Amino acid sequence: MTHGALAEIQTQVMWNRLISVVEEQAQSLLRTAFGSVAREAGDLSAGVYDLSGNMLAQAVTGTPGHVNTMAGAVAHFLERFPVDTLSPGDVLVTNDPWMGTGHLFDFVVVTPAFDGDRAVGLFASTCHVIDVGGIGFSANANSVFEEGTWIPHLYLRRAGVLNEDLLSIVCANTRNPVEVRGDLMSLVSANDTGVNRLIDMMTEFGLSSLQPLADHILQTSRAATRQAIADLPDGCFDYDLNLDGYESPITVKTRLTIAGDTATIDFSGSSPASNYGINSPRTYSHAYVVFGLKAVIAPHVPNNAGSLGCFELISEPGTCVDPLPPSPVTARHVIGQMLPDAVFGCLAQVLPDRVQAESAGSIWVLALASAHGRASPDSLAGTTRFNVMNVGIGGVGGRPGKNGLSAIAFPSGVGSIPLEITESQSPLWFRRKALLRGSGGCGQWRGGDGQVIEIANREPAPFTVSAATFDRMQHPARGRAGGEAGAPGRVSLGSGAVLQGKGIHVIPEDDSMVVELPGGGGFGPPPKADIAE
């Protein structure tokens, strides 16, 4: 074997080792996180970066909305804190929606990796925390200032000493201070794990710098992605995605332009930003647009700054996919997690045999709380105050050759939170949680089914649910290539009354809430037997 061949093998081994480093970083976060949405559902991400802030590798554990937003977030940190101003033991933090992951509930933590006194790389991680103050997890705010505590780019730890002043401010402005502080410490610990494993790796391979490996990763990924785009036919392809919205329906107008080895998504003409918190900041919109494009065009290429940088986004500032501060953004995934369907609608015109039907898209965050402040004091006397979170998951669109997956959080990839966890944290109980059979759209390949979930209070008191992220109740997932639409979502009381809109609903004492998650669209004309049914 030639020296060149051996060098290529060693480079590939180091690349794989780098991925294992960030996976251990993510596993550290999963095992130490306090919040159930991070610990149980995996609503987090972890990654390693070169000294210019380019993401080199991501953990398999994580969501596109976290991983792909963090691909750009680290560069914002470096604008304020250049690498040559950092020291061993430093940790930086922010939850800026426009320079982080799109809303205040996600803290991004960045830690420089030092080999002795020489910086060699950066680690970043993020996770969703249960509460950041303000009005809570609700789309009812009219500005980001009402949504919670906004932390700019600051030191969370400096030369090994925690910034207790900052932590005190954060904890004083949350309803769940123990959980939130615990999650921040878990993020710090996860990054420290990544730093230690990176130094071990560099020592083992005799590396004095990570940059040669970084350059190989970025160049190889970029070239492979460009080639995949170049293999597609040139042209412009349009698709309109319709969503329920909040005060009015929303249309995301999408144009895909393929020219040589460049793919561009243009959202010009989309609906203006909502007055309520369902808007998707550009960083979050870009994250899910790139995910949709890459999932179809170049799924074989690793996810890093090299491959992600091959896709371009055009958006109009002030629209629902590019809101300007201080627009409210808490429930940004209502729009953001639907954007892969918009992208797929364009790609289906280019690669009809490789693109699935529309899916339920946005997960339904079940933000559940006691009704203190929303019901009469008499009805709540002696009852428990609580603020917990669970998730409802719909169906995935049918695919060429396969039925859609049922109760799978696509495109976010988060898992379910076991109902026992929520029941242990609150007086709530789940009367039922099951697949909603038949909610997937008919087709040659059926759409995946959603779920039905019924929740009640064990105590004789009302409780609330924030319907901030409930969508596809008026605009169900459309089928493709002759497939039928999936069933729309529905929210009602156990006693029968239907609940409307994205507001905060009070579930009366001795009643229950029933949510029916939307199904995915079908693919291809349904068999005659299905039509007869």
For 263-285, the DSSP string reads EEEE-TTPPBPPSSTT---HHHH
| β 311-314/262-266 pair status | parallel
Give the number of residues written for the chain: 533
Kindly report whether the global pTM for this prediction surpasses the value 0.85. yes
State which H helix or E strand residue 30 sits in.
Answer: helix 3-32
**Which pLDDT does position 2 carry in this prediction?**
80
| β 490-493/512-516 pair status | antiparallel
**Which pLDDT does position 529 carry in this prediction?**
60
Token pair belonging to 109: 């933590």
- What is the 8-class DSSP label of residue 83? G
**Which pLDDT does position 360 carry in this prediction?**
97
Asked if residues 169 and 95 have their Cβ atoms less than 8 Å apart, the reply is: no
Strand partners, 121: 113
| β 364-370/463-466 pair status | antiparallel
**Which pLDDT does position 532 carry in this prediction?**
44
Token pair belonging to 154: 């600051």
**Which pLDDT does position 530 carry in this prediction?**
54
**Which pLDDT does position 6 carry in this prediction?**
81
Contacts of 3 (CB under 8 A, 6+ apart): none
State which H helix or E strand residue 166 sits in.
Answer: helix 164-172
Asked if residues 151 and 133 have their Cβ atoms less than 8 Å apart, the reply is: no
- Number of C-beta neighbours around residue 291 at 10 A: 25
CA angle (489 as vertex; 483, 495 as ends), nearest 5: 140
**Which pLDDT does position 331 carry in this prediction?**
97
Question: Which long-range contacts does 491-495 make (Cβ < 8 Å, 24+ apart)?
Answer: 491/467, 491/515, 491/516, 494/431, 494/454, 494/456
Asked if residues 49 and 123 have their Cβ atoms less than 8 Å apart, the reply is: yes
Q: What is the mean pLDDT of each run of 10 residues along the chain (533 residues)?
A: 80 96 97 94 95 96 92 96 98 98 98 97 97 96 98 98 98 97 98 98 96 97 98 98 97 98 98 98 98 97 96 98 98 98 98 96 96 94 96 97 97 94 97 98 98 98 96 98 98 96 94 98 86 47
- Our measurement of the distance from residue 55's CA atom to the centroid of its chain's CA atoms, rounded to an integer in Å, reads 17
